[in-house]
Structure 1
Amino acid sequence: MPRRVSDVMTPAPQALPLDATLYEAARVMRDEGIGDVLVTYAGQLCGMVTDRDIVVRAVAESRDTSLTPLGEVCTAELCTLHPEDDTETAARLMIERSVRRLPVVDGGRRPVGIVSIGDLAVADGQRGPLPEISKAPPNN
């Protein structure tokens, strides 16, 4: 399996600034057919918001999605990868952190890609880390 993250990542991930609203993030997710948006401050990665975050941390708490900034609900403590990391490292981190996607950043924390369980599964065919990652409990 050892391949570079840059070989399997989705390049140019969708990102919005920290002060963008949950409504804006939800529209990007809908329009792009994705489940996450990276959150940036001055072009540097500072968080991630997922469709589940919007539901659990905002809608279920009766927050106004057109007024609530991403900074209030995004996950700020992220585990990241670099393009030259190998896919085994990505799989290990997903298992250890119970996450389904990892942002890929350059040396200055500028987002350059994202790696998901699906990316790893496609890269490795029918075998590989997907079953073990999928058994990991969800990250709340």
Structure 2
Amino acid sequence: MATKVADVMTPDPATVEAGQPISAAARLMASNDAGAVIVTNNGQVSGIVTDRDIAVRVVAQNRGPDTPVQEATSGDVTTVGPDTSIDQAVQLMRGQAVRRLPVVENGRAVGIVSLGDLAMERDPSSALADISAAEGNT
């Protein structure tokens, strides 16, 4: 049974610089079959942008594909390290009401852990684990 975030995270996550257009983030999501991309500022993790952020903060506001990623990014980002325990990650997600946590070492993204990753580890027979394990779900 896994005990640390490093055991369940997706390594080498997609990242996008904060000043790039939101269309770049959307293309990364499409090519990586992911619902989120980690946002960086000069390579250092500064946020996360989700497909929902794009829908609500860009499309619904009639903003264009050239909108800078930083304008669609959620505020403060909660991160964990690879050695963070799975229990701590669960508590952080619960307390911060987030579905994904960038995994960071020395300010740089080394992975991402999702609610689905943790569900598959904790209760592989749960509905969330089943959905998360299905092809095309990240």
TM-score (structure 2 length as normaliser): 0.86
Paired residues for 1:99-110 under 5 Å: 99-106=98-105, 108-110=106-108
Over aligned residues, Cα RMSD in angstroms?
1.8
CA distance in 2, matches of 1:117, 1:62: 30
Number of the residue aligned with 1:4: 4
Aligned pair 1:31/2:46, yes or no? no
Are the aligned partners of 2:16 and 2:38 in contact in 1 as well (CA < 8 Å)? yes
CA distance in 2, matches of 1:127, 1:91: 18
CA distance in 2, matches of 1:2, 1:36: 24
Paired residues for 1:59-74 under 5 Å: 59-65=59-65, 67-74=66-73
Q: Which amino acid aligns with 2:75?
A: A
Query: SS in structure 2 opposite 1:30?
Result: helix
Are the aligned partners of 1:79 and 1:102 in contact in 2 as well (CA < 8 Å)? yes
Q: 5+ unaligned residues in a row in structure 1: which ranges?
A: 132-140
Are the aligned partners of 2:2 and 2:121 in contact in 1 as well (CA < 8 Å)? no
CA distance in 2, matches of 1:42, 1:56: 26
Q: Which runs of 4+ in 1 moved over 6 A?
A: none
Question: Identity, % of aligned pairs?
Answer: 44
Paired residues for 1:80-119 under 5 Å: 80-106=79-105, 108-119=106-117
Number of the residue aligned with 1:124: 122
Q: Which amino acid aligns with 1:115?
A: V
Query: SS in structure 2 opposite 1:61?
Result: coil
Give the total of aligned pairs: 128
* Deviations 1:66-102 (CA, angstroms, capped at 9, x unpaired): x101011111301110000100001111111111110
Query: SS in structure 1 opposite 2:111?
Result: strand
Are the aligned partners of 1:2 and 1:88 in contact in 2 as well (CA < 8 Å)? no
Number of the residue aligned with 2:22: 22
Q: Which amino acid aligns with 2:91?
A: R
Are the aligned partners of 1:35 and 1:51 in contact in 2 as well (CA < 8 Å)? yes
- CA-CA distance at 1:121 after TM superposition: 1.3
Q: Which amino acid aligns with 1:37?
A: V
CA distance in 1, matches of 2:24, 2:43: 17
